[in-house]
């Protein structure tokens, strides 16, 4: 991954509301959660309202922990099931965010996740901060990620790749309808829920763009040539990434595989793909239109609402009922093994010391007290 651009007193909290019995976001409040299990009587949750359990993820300046909702005021538990459900808490260390100049991207992630609700996108449920950290509480997706699944299976049959690709097409179409470019589509950022459907996670590189973006960021193997060349780009970079991902699902490796990021960039800019024998002629035709060097000729270059017309209408997707896909009426090809709400067997477990666990114990120190209040006042 390449960072964009080159990446306890509670000071502010925010918990989204459940606004109707159906679990759907209110039309009057697009930031409301569709999770019917989080209580909605309060808006001031902090770290002490959650029981911190195992660490299941780690990044450059973030950790992810499995947590249980355990409010100090038990009257806040509006439903018995709420204390039994697990959530994923992403904690970002303020000092590291500032040192890596990622303030804008962290704020973008929060703002975007607050304003998107779609079946194949992970939901943000609450945000708050303490002296040292920013916290995002999200739904816990226990089935692991596509990266792990793909490595176990080596490659996917065409029908499996088509199923996952169909859900991804709808997710990207939805984001683009809101003028959001995702910019980091890859197997590691695609989670598998308990039923086997996908959920796009990690919006650290996502950005709301009205016209074009200039920032160099993403993961080398999935970056479109216009990002590498820094010539300015738009939403079509996500369709390039989808093309490379479909290739990887079918072949088991990237179309631009190389030993170093520099060599990957060179392969991308050369535009030469050594086609795997696992990729049939119809698949190859679709990929040629997605992994297209000239952005305006790339599938998905059209304007909303016709952006995905060429993609959905391609013979590779023949027979796909897009409404049934969005409504999750098509049975997934794979159902992960999940034994309960705290099952983390599909994720790596980290045992190193955690600053979040120390913060939960009250060991936050005073050296950073108030130091970043102004920087993150809108979080």
Q: Helix crossing, 236-251 with 281-290: angle to 10°?
A: 150
3-state secondary structure of 223: coil
Residue 43 backbone dihedrals phi, psi, to 5 degrees? -130, 25
d(CA 233, CA 235): 7
**Residues with active-site annotation:** 184
d(CA 116, CA 114): 6
∠ CA 234-222-115, nearest 5°, is 50
d(CA 337, CA 330): 19
∠ CA 32-34-39, nearest 5°, is 80
Place of tokens 């999940």: 338
d(CA 366, CA 83): 32
For 25, which DSSP code? P
Alpha helix segments (H runs only) across the chain: 94-99, 103-114, 146-153, 158-177, 225-229, 236-251, 261-270, 281-290, 309-312, 322-326, 355-360
d(CA 23, CA 340): 22
**359: Cα within 13 Å, side-chain hemisphere:** 24
Handedness of CA 170, 204, 246, 347 (dihedral sign): negative
d(CA 151, CA 165): 17
């Amino acid at each position: 991954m390449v960072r964009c651009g080159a990446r306890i007193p509670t000071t502010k909290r925010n918990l989204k509301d459940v606004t109707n019995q159906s679990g759907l976001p209110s039309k009057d409040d697009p930031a409301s959660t569709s999770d019917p299990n989080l209580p909605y009587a309060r808006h001031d949750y902090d770290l002490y309202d959650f029981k911190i359990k195992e660490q299941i993820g780690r990044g450059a300046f973030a950790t992810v922990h499995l947590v249980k909702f355990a409010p100090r005021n038990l009257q806040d538990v509006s439903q018995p099931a709420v204390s039994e459900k697990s959530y994923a808490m992403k904690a970002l260390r303020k000092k590291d965010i500032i040192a890596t100049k990622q303030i804008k991207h962290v704020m973008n992630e929060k703002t975007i996740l607050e304003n998107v609700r779609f079946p194949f996108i992970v939901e943000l449920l609450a945000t708050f901060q303490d002296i040292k950290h920013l916290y995002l509480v999200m739904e816990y997706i226990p089935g692991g990620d596509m990266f792990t699944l793909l490595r176990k299976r080596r490659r996917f049959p065409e029908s499996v790749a088509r199923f996952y690709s169909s859900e991804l097409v709808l997710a990207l179409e939805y984001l683009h309808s809101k003028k959001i470019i995702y910019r980091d589509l890859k197997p590691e950022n695609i989670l598998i829920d308990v039923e086997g459907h996908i959920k796009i996670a990690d919006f650290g590189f996502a950005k709301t763009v009205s016209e074009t973006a200039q920032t160099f960021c993403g993961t080398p193997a999935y970056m479109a040539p216009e990002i590498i060349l820094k010539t300015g780009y738009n939403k079509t970079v996500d369709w390039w990434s989808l093309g490379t991902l479909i290739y990887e699902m079918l072949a088991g490796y990237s179309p631009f595989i190389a030993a170093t990021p520099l060599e990957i960039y060179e392969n991308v800019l050369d535009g030469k793909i050594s086609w795997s024998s696992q990729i049939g002629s119809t698949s190859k035709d679709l990929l040629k239109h997605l992994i297209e060097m000239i952005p305006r000729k790339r599938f998905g270059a059209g304007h909303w609402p016709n952006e995905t017309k060429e993609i959905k209408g391609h013979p590779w997707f023949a027979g796909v009922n897009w409404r049934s896909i969005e409504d999750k009426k098509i049975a997934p090809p794979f159902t992960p093994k999940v034994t309960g709400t705290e099952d983390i067997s599909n994720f790596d477990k980290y045992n190193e010391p955690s600053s979040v666990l120390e913060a939960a114990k009250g060991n936050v120190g005073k050296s950073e007290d108030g130091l970043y209040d102004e920087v993150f006042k809108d979080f």
